[in-house]
Structure 1
């Protein structure tokens, strides 16, 4: 028996409520349930979010960092819409405040976030390394981190003409982030500090 899935528009996605607490991304008009991920996945996202918030406060920047709270609408070049929910999103504080009375989604006409982080899990590996990398590049997000606990590597992608150049860090290598020049973290610290 074939099951026909009804494609959703972006507005359908924003209006969607199936009566559960399940969070969904929209990919080519289809709802994709987001799993909770492992404890390690959540701990890494929380650790990075805390690090970013500390650096933002110390540098007195007009930014904020949010963990899995913001959707990013994505141009896919196809007929149906896509909206991702990164594990961590850094954006202007004023942009976050503008969302206080509407859906927390960065739309195509909005300025892009300053940085997004995706923590890889076995089910998202291809999307994190390929699909999202292309989408985030088209959105002109200046910095995209792919944090891979499966290989204990962190790939920092920096935008150059809508495409990302990337550097991969592991072990005791200190990460270099243009957005956070005072960041003094190694890959090992991110994967080992799961408190």
Structure 2
């Protein structure tokens, strides 16, 4: 008999779960912690990209603070890692999530956010472009997220997608000093330069 210890036990449990297609939220929630982050996509466990960079985290923090300053009376902001449980076999972890206070008891549960939030924000990194622009966007359309932002630090832009007839049309693109306009979040009053000007340059290694 082979005896597995420590990480080997965890790896075997995770391998067993991955082989049992499709996975459910219960499987996902009961996985042993191996230090990685995962999402559940149509019952398939997906390993997320490496931990966000310091620049990514600073941008996330700045956006969170701006939205909190502008919209705290109406919205609660959650930052990753936070499970957004769209369905029993679909769990996503956006970088930022907004829930209107009127919907707090409807969607905010002890295990995470259950259902469709009012806004999700993804901040692109070299490792996440395909996932954010394709896989995650499909989930957000399928579960009818009414507004979705992609922050593109490399191009110093914010792309705003507004759900329309079960799809996201071409986005509104905000650059430099363009004030972000949102019918859903009329409280928002910042531009992408407000965010980026507070992000210090990180010295090369």
Deviation at 1:141, TM superposition (A): 1.1
Which residue pairs with 2:54 in the alignment? 39
Deviation at 1:68, TM superposition (A): 1.0
Which residue pairs with 1:175 in the alignment? 180
The one-character-per-residue Cα deviations of 1:153-190 (angstroms, maximum 9, x if unpaired) are: 11000111121121111122221122222322222222
Decide whether the 8 Å contact of 1:22 with 1:34 is kept in 2. no
Instruction: Measure, in 1, the Cα distance between the counterparts of 2:133 and 2:46.
Output: 20
Distance 1:182 1:92, change over 3 A: closer
Instruction: Measure, in 2, the Cα distance between the counterparts of 1:97 and 1:135.
Output: 23
Which residue pairs with 1:56 in the alignment? 71
Which residue pairs with 1:164 in the alignment? 168
Which residue pairs with 1:24 in the alignment? 38
Say which of 25, 28, 36 aligns to 1:10.
25
Greater Rg by CA: 2
Which residue pairs with 2:97 in the alignment? 89
Distance 1:94 1:17, change over 3 A: farther
TM-score (norm 1): 0.80
CA RMSD of aligned residues (A): 2.6
Distance 1:10 1:98, change over 3 A: same
Decide whether the 8 Å contact of 1:55 with 1:180 is kept in 2. no
Of the two structures, which has the highest relative contact order with CA contacts closer than 8 Å and spacing of 6 or more?
Answer: 1
Instruction: Measure, in 1, the Cα distance between the counterparts of 2:106 and 2:178.
Output: 38
- Give SS of 2:155's match: coil
Between Structure 1 and Structure 2, which shows a larger proportion of helix residues? 2
Decide whether the 8 Å contact of 1:153 with 1:187 is kept in 2. yes
Deviation at 1:65, TM superposition (A): 0.6
Decide whether the 8 Å contact of 1:74 with 1:136 is kept in 2. no
TM-score (norm 2): 0.76
- Give SS of 2:161's match: strand
The one-character-per-residue Cα deviations of 1:130-157 (angstroms, maximum 9, x if unpaired) are: 2222211121111100001122111000
For residues 73-88 of structure 1, the aligned pairs below 5 Å read 73-74=85-86, 81-88=89-96
Instruction: Measure, in 2, the Cα distance between the counterparts of 1:180 and 1:17.
Output: 38
Give 5+ residue unaligned stretches, structure 2.
1-14, 201-205
Which residue pairs with 1:72 in the alignment? 84
Instruction: Measure, in 2, the Cα distance between the counterparts of 1:184 and 1:99.
Output: 26
The one-character-per-residue Cα deviations of 1:8-28 (angstroms, maximum 9, x if unpaired) are: 33221011123x443322234
